[in-house]
Amino acid sequence: MVSSGQITRRVLLAGAAGVALSGAAVGGSLAGVLPGRAHLRRTLDIGQVVAGAPEAGGDEPTYATFASRARGTDVTWGWVTPPDLDPDGLPVVLSLHGRGDDAHSSFEALGLHQFLAQHVRDGGAPFGVVSVDGGETYWHPRASGDDPMAMIEDELLARVGALGFSTARVGVLGYSMGGLGALLLAREASHGRFGAAGQVVAAAASSPALFASAGATSAGSFDDAGDFGRYGALSREPGVAEGFPLSVSCGVDDPFRAETERYRGACVPMPEGSIGDGAHTMDYWRSQIPAQFRFLAGHLAA
């Protein structure tokens, strides 16, 4: 005998499956209305994004470590160039990782070296990609004295330049916590508070970790409400100088979707990028990389 609870569940799933047949419009309604929509959409395979890195013959990254005074710890960083190219004169894209990740994640999880090789193979302007450990600081100065912004500006970029890369024009790419970091660097650079004038030319963020309020932040992401106000309250006050080139994207099943939409709407002009299928996953972030590389390369070469 089937219980009423089982009947309800089966009817719900059967009805939802039938609804799914009506296509994208229904997927949008599920994303915007039903509680537990992300789980339901995964169950019904609606709006899911699966994206691996291309097998493009990208060079393997090189890693090194230095003792960072700005962060008070040893910091690992990595870099890669397109195949058959040396760093000499190449502009640079900085890749900022998400919480729980590190300098290796940009290459070993996202596969940025493979995307870079594909980008150049497809005719895109070449550049180098540099990653660096940011810990779990949310890429801003902390009360502990850990300052990843100063580490990048005062310690990392000098090392990047010493390899032969040009640091006169730098792009920034980030996902999740690193997406917030990219938007912070864009804000600071556009007002002359980071790097030389005109050094940071564009920023691209996937699923930036934008919170609605200090009370909504994840544990340890900010020191206190004042710290959040200075470095986290970007969705309503992006603070980026008008016209600074931005690309900001997020999946409809991502917990940061609403604040990302709010951020996009508060910028003048609205950033490139989109709100589309996807969730807070490496698959989604990989799906955005080709367009983000084209966007950044265009501004690096301008």
pTM: 0.86
Both tokens of residue 17?
Answer: 């499956």
The predicted pLDDT at position 39 comes to: 63
φ, ψ for residue 86, nearest 5 deg:
-90, 165
What are the two backbone dihedrals, phi and then psi, of residue 282, each rounded to the nearest 5 degrees? -60, -35
CA-based nearest residue to 126, from 165, 96, 158: 165
Query: 8 pLDDT exceeds 80?
Result: no
Which residue type does 187 have?
A: R
Contacts of 107 (CB under 8 A, 6+ apart): 60, 61, 78, 80, 113, 131
Tens-digit pLDDT profile for residues 186-243:
999 999 999 999 999 999 999 999 999 999 999 999 999 999 999 999 999 999 999 9
pLDDT in tens, 91-119: 999 999 999 999 999 999 999 999 999 99
Confidence of residue 36 (pLDDT cuts 50, 70, 90): low
Domains of the chain listed by start with CATH number: 4-43 (no CATH), 62-301 (3.40.50.1820)
